Structure 1
């Protein structure tokens, strides 16, 4: 998962609204979004699944738990870590710790994962944690963006995504999962002067600057867009649109989980 734009308690009718793109190597085996049962806990999760390591990049549960992860881009980090970042989301979704408790437990294992950003939440709170700063924050209401830097880093695709989501939140009649997926389809690259410097060189920074990434030469790009809307009633709408290596739409899936 490489771009997450989300609104938390920004509207009383919609406690959580999320639009996200997963960018990954095309060759990495993946299962499309669906309901599956976690083998360790026996709990059901609605999410896509990384078939190589067994975790997920973004998911929810019927009870209203939510988790999503991105990597933090750090070329200096060359040591391989023993655990997959997809486990961070899976273990929260499958468990029963509060977001605060879960983040506190993570302090014991920061060094077991490559650099990550993690969002974990339930009906009571939403927390952001990363293992670069080794700290967790309880988020206040607002509109946020998260990519491969820290939360709300001023990258062009984050700034633009927050602006678009703000506009959608001002017109509740326009707030549906199709609109959220459409906003993540922006393939325009940022001007060189606006690019972040994450240590990978300007040519690659340029290719990775769009919300939707097309980089078939490196066999890498946006594989799916996900939209999530939590309603005040407790109902949850979840949609995923998948893409091939050329950025063409393939399969799409939509789910609605009623309040428990």
Structure 2
């Protein structure tokens, strides 16, 4: 389902910071982030079931990331894979207004989702249930499995932590951002959102980092873009016990 924390023009060195977790069933085959063969300007992981991805960037500075909208009872087994939305945005060079218009006319083909997309200086979030988009101006944002900045405890905690980090005037150490993403504190029962899943699942899903045998946080990704368009991407992968099992780091300059 995934969770994203985004800071736009909040740190003196890094005008764009994204800290993200990918939550998925552990048995779903996945390829870690890499520059794609045959499309070598695209950096992203890959879902080996449907072929799409959940978050990526290309060397021109186009960014896309996906979160599912939690809606039990409304999921359709014959829906098109949402991961293709991220891949299509990174592969094609369609202007953002045209891409948004396409999202608005095809949203019923997919189960519910939020899509973050745009370039490093102009990002927006499209919500398929509301069929609306929201431009990300200066600020700190949280996106999980409802609307942008929904008042869920884990979103509030992550946004506050990211805002605190951004107020540091010096170098931002991305270890602090990974600490944010590793926060496994569950919400109290009286704070849990009511999304229609059983209460035990509401508890499991209420932390930023999710650990369980069948479903949980598979990877954490940090994306930092500085004022000179230098890009740092680091991804860490985890097993069912939250043990680190893989790590990839990429540095490049956005054209």
Question: Fold match, TM over 0.5?
Answer: yes
Partner of 2:113: 116
Shift of 1:92: 0.5
Distance 1:9 1:193, change over 3 A: same
What is the CA–CA distance in structure 1 between the aligned matches of 2:233 and 2:128, rounded to whole Å? Answer: 28
CA RMSD after TM alignment: 1.5
Shift of 1:76: 2.0
What is the CA–CA distance in structure 1 between the aligned matches of 2:89 and 2:37, rounded to whole Å? Answer: 14
Which of 89, 111, 129 aligns to 2:126? It is: 129
Is 1:257 aligned to residue 252 of structure 2? yes
Shift of 1:174: 4.7
Partner of 1:213: 210
Which structure 2 residues correspond to residues 50-69 of structure 1 after superposition, within 5 A? 50-69=47-66
Q: TM-score, normalised by structure 1?
A: 0.94
Which consecutive unaligned segments of at least 5 residues does structure 2 have?
none
CA contact (8 A) 1:6 1:143 kept: yes
CA contact (8 A) 1:67 1:121 kept: yes
Q: CA deviation digits over 1:4-44, x for unaligned, max 9?
A: 11112223532210111111011100001111146xxx463
What is the CA–CA distance in structure 2 between the aligned matches of 1:63 and 1:178, rounded to whole Å? Answer: 26
CA contact (8 A) 2:24 2:215 kept: yes
What is the CA–CA distance in structure 2 between the aligned matches of 1:57 and 1:107, rounded to whole Å? Answer: 19
Shift of 1:120: 0.1
Partner of 2:243: 248
What is the CA–CA distance in structure 1 between the aligned matches of 2:70 and 2:223, rounded to whole Å? Answer: 25
Is 1:223 aligned to residue 223 of structure 2? no
What is the CA–CA distance in structure 2 between the aligned matches of 1:176 and 1:61, rounded to whole Å? Answer: 23
Distance 1:78 1:89, change over 3 A: closer
Q: CA deviation digits over 1:166-187, x for unaligned, max 9?
A: 0110114352332212210011
Partner of 2:87: 90
Partner of 2:163: 166
Q: TM-score, normalised by structure 2?
A: 0.95
CA contact (8 A) 2:75 2:111 kept: no
**Please, which moves more after superposition, 9-18 or 141-150?**
9-18
Q: CA deviation digits over 1:157-208, x for unaligned, max 9?
A: 1000001000110114352332212210011111111110001122210111
Is 1:3 aligned to residue 3 of structure 2? yes
CA contact (8 A) 1:35 1:45 kept: yes
What is the CA–CA distance in structure 2 between the aligned matches of 1:250 and 1:123, rounded to whole Å? Answer: 30
CA contact (8 A) 1:10 1:142 kept: yes
Partner of 1:27: 27
**Please, which moves more after superposition, 121-130 or 109-118?**
121-130
What is the CA–CA distance in structure 1 between the aligned matches of 2:141 and 2:166, rounded to whole Å? Answer: 13
Shift of 1:150: 0.7
CA contact (8 A) 1:37 1:44 kept: no
**Please, which moves more after superposition, 118-127 or 239-248?**
118-127
